[in-house]
A = this chain, B = another copy of it.
Amino acid sequence: MSAQAPIAFAARESKEVIEEGLQFAPKFDDQGLIPAFAVDADSGAPLMLAYMNEQSLKMTLELGQAVYWSRSRNQLWHKGATSGEFQVIVDIRTDCDQDALVLRVKQQGGGCCHTKRATCFYRVVKTVGGEALLEPIPC
């Protein structure tokens, strides 16, 4: 993953260029992170929301597998490197202001979630008499 030219991102020149241009100029927040939402490339089902820094985003583009930045461990997180649950990138989309990513992936291994479920989004919010409860979604 290092034989090719290093990937460069464009500067964020203007609102017009960011919204309508064809140069990728991702915005990282004040902690150097951009949210990346992984969805199943075939079904569109939501899988997980994690974060990338500039280095992990470039690694993702070079490797073709999701590499996040772990905020809890404060280190690069090549998803699947220990579990086998790699996420093979089908494509990466960005939004109008280029401060969020959608990863369309083919999830490898048993599932996306560390709880061994197919997706991290396995509960739906319900309000009952002023209390906010969760209801499991079969998955």
The proximity string for A residues 12-40 relative to B, scoring 1 for CB distances below 8 Å and 0 otherwise, is 00000001111110000000000101010
A93 near B123: Cβ-Cβ < 8 Å: yes
Q: A93 contacts which chain B residues (CB < 8 A)?
A: 46, 121-125, 137
Knowing A130-B6, A133-B22 are in contact, say whether A92-B45 is a contact too (CB < 8 A). Answer: no
- Which positions 30-75 of chain A face chain B at CB distance < 8 Å? 35, 37, 39, 43-46, 48-49, 61-62
User: Does A5 sit within 8 A of B, measured CB to CB?
Assistant: yes
Contact B49 A39 (CB under 8 A): no
Interface: A82 (CB within 8 A):
no
Residue among A5, A24, A115 facing the most chain B CB atoms (10 A cut-off): A24
Q: A96: which B residues are within 8 A, CB to CB?
A: 113-115, 117, 120, 122
CA distance A92 to B135 in the complex (A): 11
Which one of B61, B100, B125 lies within 8 Å of A125 (CB-CB)? B61
Please pick, from B21, B62, B114, B132, the residue contacting A10 in the complex, using a CB distance under 8 A.
Answer: B132
* Residue among A45, A115, A125, A133 facing the most chain B CB atoms (10 A cut-off): A125
